[in-house]
Amino acid sequence: MNAVHRVLSPNELDPAAAGCCALAIMTKAPRAGRVKTRLSPPLTPEEAAGLNISFLRDTAAAIAYADAGAQGIGCYTPVGEEETYRDILPGNFQLIPQREGSFGERLLGAMEDLFSVGFGSVCLIDSDSPTVPAGVFAEAVKMLSQPNDRVILGPSDDGGYYLIGVKQLHRRLFEEIDWSTDRVLAQTQTRAAEENLEVHLLPAGYDVDDRATLSRLCQDLLGQGNSDFQPDWVDGLEARRFDAADTAPASREFLRGIIAREGRARIWAL
């Protein structure tokens, strides 16, 4: 069993955070009926929560390979659910509670709190994109370690982003954004231009939050021929090179278990 994670307080400066990049997963405690509700059906609420746990494990594992100068963080809600993450996130991860408010307010609050702890740069990462590889997180950390201010964005196919990273707090990046629409990425790029921020785009990913994207995930992880996949996003980076067998192993095994018990038709469109 993992050790209890250290819970950071935004009111206390942590000397160990100085010069370090926080790679923070935005997460809601994975309870049945409270997470991934758009996946029920085809999944049961219990399966949806189990899949969310798998996503968290896969994203945390990818973060762990990113860079020695990065710290994995679980930015969680609600307060009081710290024990939930004991057997989900690696023991070297830390936790910090989310603030209350709208989605944009939660993102801004997480940025502000992590900078107040003392981190040199911050990336906020969604918990819906388990196939984002370690090399992408390594690239984000590398770009944020270079001179000059910038914003790092990981575009999602739905018009949003799975990652936003900055070297200092820019409130404008979270203002006048139509959250949960296909305009989020474009509007964020506009806000960056208003702040005269260079934008560095990471390779595109996708969120798994409905029946169609669940089917896509099944195809990517379990589809015929994926064992020959070799990504090119790590060229020039000192990150471990992942192939298809390494991508999202916890999610792969969870989906494989459902299909072994019930066949593919319920969760994987033909």
Which domains are delineated in the chain?
Answer: 6-209 (3.90.550.10)
- Give the pair of three-digit tokens for residue 13: 């400066």
| H or E element that contains 83 | none
- Give the pair of three-digit tokens for residue 229: 């996949």
| CA 102/CA 107 separation, integer angstroms | 9
How many residues are there in the chain? 270
- Give the pair of three-digit tokens for residue 121: 């740069």
- Residue 242 pLDDT greater than 50, yes or no: no
> Residue 118 half-sphere exposure, CB side, CA atoms within 13 Å?
11
**Per-residue pLDDT tens over the stretch 189-215:** 999 999 999 999 999 999 999 999 999
**Per-residue pLDDT tens over the stretch 156-192:** 999 999 999 999 999 999 999 999 999 999 999 999 9
User: Lowest-pLDDT range, 57-71, 78-92, 160-174?
Assistant: 57-71
Amino acid at residue number 215: S
* Mean predicted lDDT score pLDDT of the chain: 90
Other beta carbons within 10 Å of 270: 5
In 136-183, the DSSP E strands lie at: 150-155, 161-166
- Residue 235 pLDDT greater than 80, yes or no: no
Q: List Cβ neighbours of 217 (8 Å cut-off, separation of 6 or more).
A: 130, 131, 208, 248, 251, 255
pLDDT of residue 237: 38
pTM: 0.91
CA 123-76-205 angle, 5° bins: 45
